[in-house]
Amino acid sequence: MDHFLYKGGILHAEDVPLPEIAAAVGTPAYVYSAATLLRHYRLFDEALAPLPHLVCYAVKAASNVAILKLLGDAGAGMDVVSEGEYRRARAAGVPGDRIVFSGVGKTRAEMRHVLEGGVRQINLESEPEMRLLSEVATSLGVEVPVTVRVNPDVDARTHEKIATGRSDNKFGIPISKARAVYAEIAALPGLRVVGIDVHIGSQLTDLEPFRLAYRKVADLTETLRADGHTIERLDLGGGLGIPYARSNLAPPLPSDYGALIAEEVGHLGCEIEIEPGRLIAGNAGILMASTVFVKEGEGRDFLIVDAAMNDLIRPAMYGAHHDIVPVREAAPGAEMRPFDIVGPVCESGDTFAKGRDMVPLSEGELIAFRSAGAYGAVMASEYNSRPLVPEVLVQGDQYAVIRPRPTFDEMISRDTIPQWLHDA
Ligand SMILES: *Cc1c(COP(=O)(O)O)cnc(C)c1O
């Protein structure tokens, strides 16, 4: 459920008509609903209510500081994968003891930064990383709580670019090596084992892979405890999928997911952490665009819009589907016809949908890409020198620009011409 609904024939974000936002900030623009973000966070929080837990929002899904503040103020922890994300979470007022640092390639500088600033735990992904963290922590005279991300070798049955729990990908250590790795950590100064971490992939629309992975984590908990390690926290990752097409069957609910967690690991007495990103932010944001031209082609018609792959790369990168709807609701019974919906970037990959049934639109009309809140704005670039797409947050009947569109001058003035070219 989200808060983007037609009222009086006009698509609204909560109580704000989208044309009002388009008039103020132009298009393309991302628009988020605060009520939807909070609702999704609370669904997870309630789903885990029977167990001690912390829902750590995966910052990489949508990392605007205003979104982080909204969720952080509601009690969310944060899962970060870079110093930049850590700094964003802190800028949003989230305390270090609610921030988990994940990722396969943390650098010495990043480790030092989060250790100095305060961190809830660091999820380790390799042996060289353990040794480096031990060295950095010791040099600062601190002891850092750690987990090891284990790779349970389960098939998440999702897109290959976002599956992370198979033994042949770069994430975590093979679960079969876990005992040896935990023994090595226990002997390293500056590290304090607190638990186990697992994350098997993103956009999972079936709970079974989670069940298989969590069952392996539960077994490993018993084994590691028998070896003398303290396992008091289980970080179970993110990955719950969302319905990108309205016509599809609904994927599992956070409540089903919470019940599964209680069944598989509830008996262990651990504090549970989860790291959802997509399910919190995905349906809480849309990308609003305008049609530029309707171009009649041979055998197919094109709807050329002012958003492009640099603003929303998911269709080009993952072949992802986004529902695309007119902001002015189609008249009941209006005739649809198929369009290829494309952006202006000079690549055939800049195609949002092929043969998509749409009501005929004229030039300059507003459309909305639904379910664009996660992995949308964060993956935007200025390819083709298109200024970075702005972001707007709506709450009730108010809205605010939470990242303005740079002017052309701002975009160009970041480049500098070396002196030796001036001299030439
Ligand atoms: C990407 C990622 C997440 C979030 O995944 P979603 O599918 O957005 O819920 C959580 N944890 C880790 C370690 C990740 O890499």
Same structural domain, 80 and 122: yes
- Which whole number is the average pLDDT over 243-270? 91
Per-residue pLDDT band at 3 (split at 50, 70, 90): very high
Q: Which of 251, 280, 309 is the last residue of a domain?
A: 280
Tokens describing residue 382 = 């200025």
Q: Is the CB of 61 under 6 A from ligand 1?
A: yes
* Pairwise pLDDT comparison (424 vs 218), residue with the higher score: 218
pLDDT at 246 over 80: no
Using the atom order of ligand 1, give the atom closest to the CA of residue 241: 7
For range 204-225, the mean pLDDT: 97
- Assess whether the C-beta atom of 237 lies below 6 angstroms from ligand 1: yes
Element (H, E) at 367: strand 366-369
Q: Which of 231, 209, 216, 210 is nearest to 148 (CA)?
A: 231
Residue 292 Cα distances to 214, 306, 307, 350, angstroms: 49, 6, 10, 15
Same domain? For 9 and 122 the reply is: no
Asked which of 265, 280, 295 is the last residue of a domain, the reply is 280
pLDDT attached to residue 249: 66
Residue 239 assigned ligand-binding role: yes
Q: Is residue 76 part of a domain?
A: yes
294: domain range? Answer: 4-31+282-413
Known binding residue 296? Answer is no
As a whole number, mean pLDDT of residues 405-414 equals 98
**pLDDT confidence of residue 239:** 96
pLDDT band at 1 (very low <50, low <70, confident <90, very high): low
Question: Is residue 108 in a domain?
Answer: yes
Q: How many whole angstroms separate alpha carbon 16 and alpha carbon 367?
A: 15
Please state, in angstroms and as integers, the Cα–Cα distance from residue 327 to each residue in 330, 354, 368, following that order. Answer: 9, 20, 6
Residue with tokens 């998509």: 356
Torsion sign (Cα): 108, 111, 114, 118: negative
Q: Is 53 in the pocket of ligand 1 (CB under 6 A)?
A: no
Ligand 1 and 103: CB distance under 6 A: no
Q: Report the CATH number that the domain containing residue 297 is assigned in CATH.
A: 2.40.37.10
The secondary structure of 260-288, three-state, reads: HHHHHHHHHCCEEEECCCHHHHHHHEEEE
Question: Considering all CA atoms of the chain, what is the largest pairwise distance in Å, rounded to the nearest integer?
Answer: 73
In a domain, 389, yes or no: yes
Q: How many folded domains does the chain comprise?
A: 2
Question: Tens of pLDDT along 183-198?
Answer: 999 999 999 999 999 9
pLDDT, tens digit, 9 for 90 and up, residues 9-33: 999 999 999 999 999 999 999 999 9
Tens of pLDDT, residues 151-162: 999 987 777 777
Residues 326 and 341: their CA atoms lie apart, in Å, by 12
Domain for residue 178, yes or no? Answer: yes
CATH number, residue 125: 3.20.20.10
142: its two tokens: 């601190």
Of 102-111, 213-222, 254-263, 297-306, the range with the lowest mean pLDDT is 297-306
> Please, which residues have CB within 8 angstroms of residue 128's CB and are 6 or more apart in sequence?
none
Quick one: 305 and 265 in the same domain?
no
- Asked whether residue 181 falls in the same domain as residue 309, the answer is no
363 in Cβ contact with 292 (< 8 Å): yes
Judged by average pLDDT, the poorest of 164-178, 314-328, 391-405 is 164-178
373 is in an annotated binding site: no
Q: How confident is the model at residue 170 (pLDDT cuts 50, 70, 90)?
A: confident
Tell me: pLDDT of 271 over 80: yes
Q: Closest Cα to atom 10, ligand 1: which residue?
A: 238
Distance CA 181, CA 176 (A): 10
Q: What is the mean pLDDT of residues 296-316?
A: 94
pLDDT at 248: 67
- 328 CB neighbour count, 10 Å cutoff: 17
Confidence label for 386 from pLDDT (cuts 50, 70 and 90): very high
Q: What sign does the dihedral 165-166-167-171 (CA atoms) show?
A: negative
Tell me the two tokens of residue 363.
């030039």
Q: How far is the CA of 201 from the centre of ligand 1 (A)?
A: 7
3-state secondary structure 193-246: EEEEECCCECCECCCHHHHHHHHHHHHHHHHHHHCCCCCCEEECCCCECCCCCC
Whether residue 168 has pLDDT greater than 80: no
241 annotated among ligand-binding-site residues: no
Among 187, 331, 346, 421, the active-site one is 346
**Catalytic residue at 270?**
no
Residue ending a domain, choose from 280, 306, 324: 280
Residue 418 lies in a domain: no
User: What is the pTM assigned to this prediction?
Assistant: 0.97
Instruction: Say how many Å lie between the CA of residue 164 and the centre of ligand 1.
Output: 10
**Distance between CA 390 and CA 27 in Å, rounded?**
9
For residue 83 the two structure tokens come to: 């110093």
Asked which of 138-152, 176-190, 206-220, 242-256 is least confident by mean pLDDT, the reply is 242-256
Residue nearest atom 3 of ligand 1, based on CA coordinates: 238
